[in-house]
Chains A and B, each alone.
Chain A
Amino acid sequence: MSNNELTRRGLLRTGAVAGAGVALPTIFTASSAAAYTNEPTGGTVTLGFNVPQTGPYADEGNDELLAQQLAVEHLNGEGDGGCLNTFTSKALKGNGILGKKVTFVTGDTQTKSDAARASAKSMIEKDGAIMINGGSSSGVAVAVQGLCQDAGVIFMAGLTHSNDTTGKDRKKNGFRHFFNAYMSAAALAPVLSKEMGADRRAYHLTADYTWGWTQQESIAAATEAMGWETVNNVLTPLASTDFSSYIAPVLNSGADVLVLNHYGGNMVNSLTNAIQFGLLDKVANGKDFKIVVPLYSELMAAGAGENIKGVLGSMNYNWQLDNEGSKAFVKSFGEKYGKPPSNSAQTCYAQVLLYADACERAGTFNPCGVAEALEGFEFDGLGNGKTLYRAEDHQCFKDVLVVRGAQNPTNAYDTLEIVEVTPVEQVMYAPDHPMFGGAEASLGECNSGA
């Protein structure tokens, strides 16, 4: 892009513009055409961490930033090395990436597509970032992914759960480690069926924007497949702060399960309202009324407080997972910051290490080389167990956690308990699945910016 995207025509024209104004003295030298965008030339390589620092998701962004900083430390051989010790790929040596010390710049997405693109552009154009990582919403992820594709840098998505990120909006330069709405549904459905029975009637409240729709579509499809009926789906404005008028009619609708397709502040408030209305104490159709929150996060759980008790949902990762990679990461993160990592922190940490490792294995920072190294890459030891980066859509496939709000948490960090680890086979789908853009969805061509 900008710095290096000098098509011949562009070079001639811009050259002419500059040349017309001043006769160029010899000390003026145009930068030599680089092989790809922001090719690192000195002893350092710059990564761009683009997370929400203002707005409702600021705390989540801060958690991501902590994890990213930890990853940079580990890459540079500082600290205890964290997951470098458990990662199945041994390409990383703790001496930076390809011998270059890792530095980073940060930006504020404000959880707005426009602002996120602006800060990503500034990191690419001004600071020479060669990879962008982070974010806490799908709108931002898709917008920044598109930008990185155009600019010729790699995008390692942070928290983004919409099917579209690796569905109809998938890009050759973009990669997602986080799971998606389809996987949530596929993992949740059997557990829901086991816990609540196969003849439930579900009432959906859905945040009225792209992510909410894809999640609702996925959950409805998966639960209907095992016998549930969807009584109603009500779309709620994103700006809603009070959901009482949406919750109040639920009890009389003939439904016996409430599915909250909400995230962040929406979810905290809708769940709080649902508990206020005493839904969980009621009996409908002769069954105990239940609430499901398909996508959980630690911060939402903290915000919802006691209200999450017994409520089922899914997560990409939880610090209580008992495997070598997870233990190493939790120890490293916990000792440095005094709290366990959230699942958005973990996905960012893993993404940074995966990017670095791919560069090492490819032997270059060239995005096309890196992308090739990541495609079809199988690994373990980053906390999620055995994982595959699928080549067709750049989506990671790994086990999905079904969690429940703990009845008796002993401290602020074990408010969620793992109910089941759904094996990866159960959440697999074809790359041309209709919910993911069907056969038309394509990654397009790799862009290195050259």
Chain B
Amino acid sequence: MGILEVKNVGKRFGGLQALSDVNLSVAENTVHAIIGPNGAGKSTLLNCLVGKLIPDSGSVMFDGQSVLGRAPYEINQMGISRVFQTPEIFGDLTVLENMMIPCFAKRDGAFELNALPSVSSQKDVMDRAMHMLEEMRMADKRNMHAAAMSRGDKRRLEIGMCLSQEPRLLLLDEPTAGMARADTNNTIDLLKQIKQERDITIAIIEHDMHVVFSLAERITVLAQGTPLVEDTPENIKGHPKVREAYLGESA
């Protein structure tokens, strides 16, 4: 039984069957990649996992509980954190404030009317956020406006924000899309390090095979809204069905 169990999920947009009969099981403490050509339904599937979309059929269980019908913030509080394709951070806030917000969310839950004490008096959150920044090697940038940072730093900050919540499952949506090779390698290293240092399950949607094969322990190939195969990276390489899906030609 995996930490994330997707069963028979289907989703239609008007005339387009985006997902049909998707089954997926992500085992705890693994790195699981989902790959597939454009329009295979990767993003739709991801959105069904985090509460942005509700599937027409099927079930999505996280750690034995259904996530269906829950709002994104509730699913996050269950322990799923999401990293976006383009970094989603609080651009108008400073880097430190960016890091404090997930820490508050971790400590106080989805809503807390904490309107009178000053932020600086919240020592526990402050310390935690600083610790996380140090871990992400961004402590020196803490008073910068987040919007002013480079794209690579924004990605780092976003991943750091997700980790500060100590999620059990980290979802990454093409984390290296549009990155230069050097930045991509840095990101790979960062993710490897993260995986080494803590008990965490990572699910990653990726285009870049280099990234996928550097990180993943299991790979699911999605094509036309349905999983083609699921296997180890070694077996996926050279799998005829995969070639077919990617090259669009029958073997």
Instruction: Decide if A and B touch, CB cutoff 8 A.
Output: no
Residues of B in contact with A (beta carbons under 8 Å apart): none
